[in-house]
Amino acid sequence: MEQIYRYFENLITSLRWFGNISFGTPPQTLTVVFDTGSGTAVSVFNQDFENLTVRECTDTMAILGLSAPDVPLLLITDQTEGFDIDPFSGIVGMAFRPNQTIFSLFLTPKIVGNAELTLGGIDESKVNGTLIFSPIVLPHDGSDGSLWMLNSSTIIVNNQSSPILQKPLEIIFDSGTSNLVFDSNITKAIYQLISPNIKPHGTLGAFGLPCSEIGSVVADISFTFTNISGNPFVLSVPSEEFNLGPFDDDPTTCQTLINALDGFNIIGGSLLKHYYSVWDVDHAQLGFVIPPDQPLTSTTSNTTGVSAAPASGAYLPTLLSIVAVLLLSMTVV
C-alpha cells in the first residue's frame, strides 16, 4: 500500500500536534488535531437538563488532494470561550475501527520539529531498530469500534513498584491527550514513589509540588506491556517530562505530570513524543520504536509543511472510514 505524508506543527508545549485538512465543496482548509482517542461514539451531557441541539451532518473531507465523501462531523456553532486560544479548529477522530489500514505518528518535541502523520504505511527513515508490536484490547461487548488500548502488567517508578502498580491494567493511548491520566488510586501510588510533597491542587484532578523542589525530583516512569510473541517490553516517560510549569493561581507550585480521573487510564503526548508509533488497524496492534537520535539544538523550522509520496486514491476512503468525528468551529462571513 502506498503512503501519503502530512507534517504537523508543534505547539510551544510540545504536547499537542495539529495539521491541515479541508472540508466541503469548495474546500475550506481547517487546522485539526488528529486524535486517536476520539471515535464515533459520541454522548451528549447536559447537567442543567435544558433543551440542547446538536448539528450533525456529513461532507467531503480531503487531505493532500485525496478526498472521501460522507465523512460524519459535528458542528460547534457556539464555542466555549476557553477554547478561543486554541490554534486549531477541531478534532479528527482516529480511534480503532476494523478497516484494514495503517497509520504512523512521529510526534516530536517542538525544538526538533517536523512532526509527521503517515497514512497508509511506515516512514522507514523514522525507524531506528525493530518495531515492537502489542495486540490491542478489543471491545468486551464484541462491537467493531475500540480505543487504542494495551494491557499493562506493571508500572515502575524510579526502579520501584508497589502492589497496586503490579496489577493488570488496560491503558488507552491517546494522541489528543497531552500528559498522563490515571485512576486516582494509581496516580497516588505513583506519586508516593516520587515525593511525599506532591499534593492535589484544585478540583480537576491536578497535582503539584513546590517549584523550589521539583527541579531536584527524579520521576522516571515505565510501563510494561506484552508483545505479539508474549514477551514483555517497556515504554518510558523520562523525568524531564514531570514538571508542567507553575499553576496560574499559585506560581510557587508547579503542576506534575499525572492527573487523576477515576475510570480512566491514558497515556498521551508526554510518552508518545519519545517513540515512533505505528497504529495497525488491519492486525489490531500498536507498534513502537525509538526514532533516530536528533540533536536537541536542531533549528528545524516548525512551520507546517507538506511532503507527499504518490498515493492510491482508493486508499483514502478506507482511512477516512476510521475518521469518525470532526468538531468544527465555523465563522460565517
How confident is residue 53, by pLDDT bands cut at 50, 70 and 90?
Answer: low
Q: Residue 145's pLDDT is what?
A: 60
Q: Residue 116's pLDDT is what?
A: 78
Amino acid (1-letter code) at residue 281? V
Q: Residue 320's pLDDT is what?
A: 37
* Cell numbers at 114, concatenated: 517536523
Q: Residue 164's pLDDT is what?
A: 97
Q: Which of 206, 287, 298 is nearest to 247 (CA)?
A: 206
C-beta separation of 269 from 107 below 8 A? yes
Q: Which residue has the higher pLDDT, 304 or 174?
A: 174
The count of residues in the chain is 333
Q: Among all chains, which residue has been given the C-alpha cell 478561543?
A: 84
Percent of the chain with pLDDT over 70: 65
pTM recorded for the entire structure: 0.74
Residue 57: helix, strand or coil by DSSP?
strand
Half-sphere exposure of 299 (CA within 13 A, CB side): 0
Q: Among all chains, which residue has been given the C-alpha cell 480512566?
A: 264
Q: With 90 as the cut, is the pLDDT of residue 98 above it?
A: no
Amino acid (1-letter code) at residue 308? A
What structural domains and CATH numbers belong to the chain?
1-126+293-333 (2.40.70), 129-290 (2.40.70.10)
**If you average pLDDT over residues 79-87, what whole number do you get?**
62
pLDDT digits (tens, 9 = 90+) for 236-278: 999 999 999 999 999 999 999 999 999 999 999 899 988 999 9
C-beta separation of 312 from 64 below 8 A? no
Exposure b/e, 75-89, CB count within 10 A at least 16 = b: ebeeeeeeeeeeebb
Q: Residue 10's pLDDT is what?
A: 41
Q: What is the mean pLDDT of the chain?
A: 75
C-beta separation of 28 from 22 below 8 A? yes
Q: In what order do the strands lie in the sheet with 250-256?
A: 199-201, 206-210, 250-256, 243-247
SS3 letters across 229-266: CCCEEEEEECHHHCEEEEECCEEEEEEECEEECCCCCE
DSSP-derived letter for residue 36 is: T
How far, in Å, CA of 25 to CA of 97, rounded?
27
